[in-house]
Structure 1
């Protein structure tokens, strides 16, 4: 089993100031040193991962808010490619509707060259769900599904055809080419993944041959039915079953008390940051085409009353925390249920101090990582199996 670390540079402490400024209130200007300090600290942790035995480094794409300060994941991974020698890299995800698809194809081609022989870029794609990100990038959120469908086709054409044409509603190309040509286009395409937020979106990436990437937002059992739909869509398009890759937050403590204390503080902070970034307790999804699931989720959170606590409790139930033995056992159970290809783990999130994150990573790397890497890979769960799991 492969195990990767995910870079998730958050400035959680800035959320109150940021939202007040967004509402038009008079607030102090941001001290940019806070962003810079977090960047330096998390880059140091990421560059240590190779020597600690991790298989890969992953990162995400977000704009505008303190949620995740990584606006260009491929740019960050290009730096990682040059600063390391063994480790693979991945995105979770590149949000295709936010980019010109030909530029995406160019960027991941260059990343493949920068990694060199023997190292793999795993490119996850998604369609985005944060209103403020679409708005400040000057894009219509309700067009995201159509833009995604066209963009993934353009990316694949640019990688596989020296010259191609494409005529869609959002993108038009006539006899265009891309240089440099990818060293191994099939390696790139075979390692394309898709992450979805709403269950109805699962087949969108599957029918283009993308593999599943799970970022758990619902109870684990819910994902069996979604993976079943994903498998059906892949099969209908002529693709073989594929193992998922699974993202989780992790806190590993020397004692149960230490692990629980830190997990109950920092994992709900991560969940709260996600709630605020996506405005999950807002009613704006109800009027946005293609986001019906989010509208229902928002209505449910509104009925709960305390959306922040509800999301924090859900993330505590889904993600991995405990002593080393407890972390190994939880990850073995998830592996047995889903037979994943890889886990991608966030080790620092919320307002977690650097020294706490360093202890978390060091203990996990020493006592959990080898045990999880020793979990044997199994054949993918078929969609029929998934429905009965």
Structure 2
């Protein structure tokens, strides 16, 4: 079983200088390889204190030069905010510099504040994502981009430096809404799962995705990778208290960044599913919704955390995990304590589990 680490760079209510948040995160990240983590991930976000990483590729390029083996995951690059030609160049450059260590994760984004900030009409997001993703996925295999579409008219241009390795089998996309499952299956990409819905609903979504993937691609879908927030403590009671305090605060930051309390997706094309979140919060209250969110996550004693990861693995046939440990304004002393306990008592067990290997050139070369 592959196990990575997700870096969040949260600064709720601007409690700390942004530079201090980044400095504390980077100190811990520098130890990941020696602690036994196998990949490093971050996600693209802009403009707020939610997650302060506007450029995952730049962040991972920095760490490509500071590490030797750890894989580098974009979880995700939000395609509708960017020029596909530039994204293809950045991807190829990082993969070449790192010796084929990149795991490519793509997404379309759902925050109004970010779409407005980049002056992109949210009503076009789904169509833009599909068009851009097809361009980039095909271009990385051919070594050039050429496209005449609704949003992009790209004359043929080579990607330089040329892609040295195929990205087939190591390209993933985040998908939350049921409508996204057929899209990702037809694109031929794997799924990145961030726990947000009850696991029985996720299981139903995967049944649709797996069926369509096999129909469209003539082979079984790649097993997914799963993220989520994690907290480990030797005391079950303390773990529960900390999880509800800080994962609950993380959920509050999600509600604020995405404005779910204001129903920002009503009437926006392609975001019909997300209006259900506003309705859910209205029915259950912010505290009840946060409690349900926390229940989805792996927290507890080492034994309890292993049990919860095992449940997730068995439910979605996961090939790997990339949990996050820093969220909701948790003091970095607590973050580090949780990470070290995880590395000592949880990580070896997870890595001992049988799972399909990731299709990454760097791993193939090492074998």
State the TM bucket, normalised to the shorter chain.
Answer: over 0.9
Do 1:194 and 1:206's aligned partners in 2 also have CA atoms closer than 8 Å? Answer: no
2:350 equivalent among 372, 379, 387: 372
Alignment partner of 1:341 is 2:313: no
TM-score of the pair, normalised by structure 1: 0.88
Query: Quick check: 230-239 or 65-74, which moved more?
Result: 230-239
Residue 358 of structure 1 aligns to a residue whose secondary structure is: helix
Alignment partner of 1:191 is 2:174: no
Corresponding residue for 1:244? 224
Structure 2 gaps, min length 5 = 358-367
Corresponding residue for 1:303? 283
1:283 CA displacement: 2.1
Corresponding residue for 2:339? 361
2:28 equivalent among 21, 39, 45: 45
- Size of the aligned set, in residue pairs, is 357
Partners of 1:54 and 1:92 in 2: CA distance: 16
Change (3 A) 1:285 1:163: closer
1:279 equivalent among 256, 259, 266: 259
Do 2:85 and 2:145's aligned partners in 1 also have CA atoms closer than 8 Å? Answer: no
Partners of 2:139 and 2:356 in 1: CA distance: 33
Do 1:268 and 1:311's aligned partners in 2 also have CA atoms closer than 8 Å? Answer: no
Alignment partner of 1:5 is 2:5: yes
Partners of 2:288 and 2:177 in 1: CA distance: 18
Corresponding residue for 1:72? 55
Do 2:143 and 2:163's aligned partners in 1 also have CA atoms closer than 8 Å? Answer: no
Partners of 2:156 and 2:329 in 1: CA distance: 49
Residue 58 of structure 1 aligns to a residue whose secondary structure is: strand
Partners of 1:378 and 1:182 in 2: CA distance: 25
Corresponding residue for 1:173? 154
Residue 262 of structure 2 aligns to a residue whose secondary structure is: coil
Corresponding residue for 1:214? 193
Do 2:136 and 2:145's aligned partners in 1 also have CA atoms closer than 8 Å? Answer: no
Partners of 1:136 and 1:362 in 2: CA distance: 38
Deviations 1:334-353 (A, max 9, x none): 21222211101101111100
1:218 CA displacement: 0.6
Do 1:212 and 1:230's aligned partners in 2 also have CA atoms closer than 8 Å? Answer: no
TM-score of the pair, normalised by structure 2: 0.94
Query: Quick check: 55-64 or 237-246, which moved more?
Result: 237-246
Partners of 1:91 and 1:351 in 2: CA distance: 23
Residue 122 of structure 1 aligns to a residue whose secondary structure is: strand
Query: Quick check: 42-51 or 331-340, which moved more?
Result: 331-340
Corresponding residue for 1:228? 207
Alignment partner of 1:57 is 2:35: no
Partners of 1:208 and 1:162 in 2: CA distance: 18
1:157 CA displacement: 3.0
Corresponding residue for 2:363? none
Q: Which stretches of structure 1, 4 residues or more, deviate above 4 A after TM superposition?
A: none
Change (3 A) 1:106 1:378: closer
Corresponding residue for 2:362? none
RCO (CA 8 Å, sep 6+): is it higher in 1 or 2?
2
Partners of 2:5 and 2:132 in 1: CA distance: 28
RMSD: 1.7
Structure 1 gaps, min length 5 = 16-32, 380-389
Residue 69 of structure 2 aligns to a residue whose secondary structure is: coil
Partners of 2:278 and 2:219 in 1: CA distance: 35
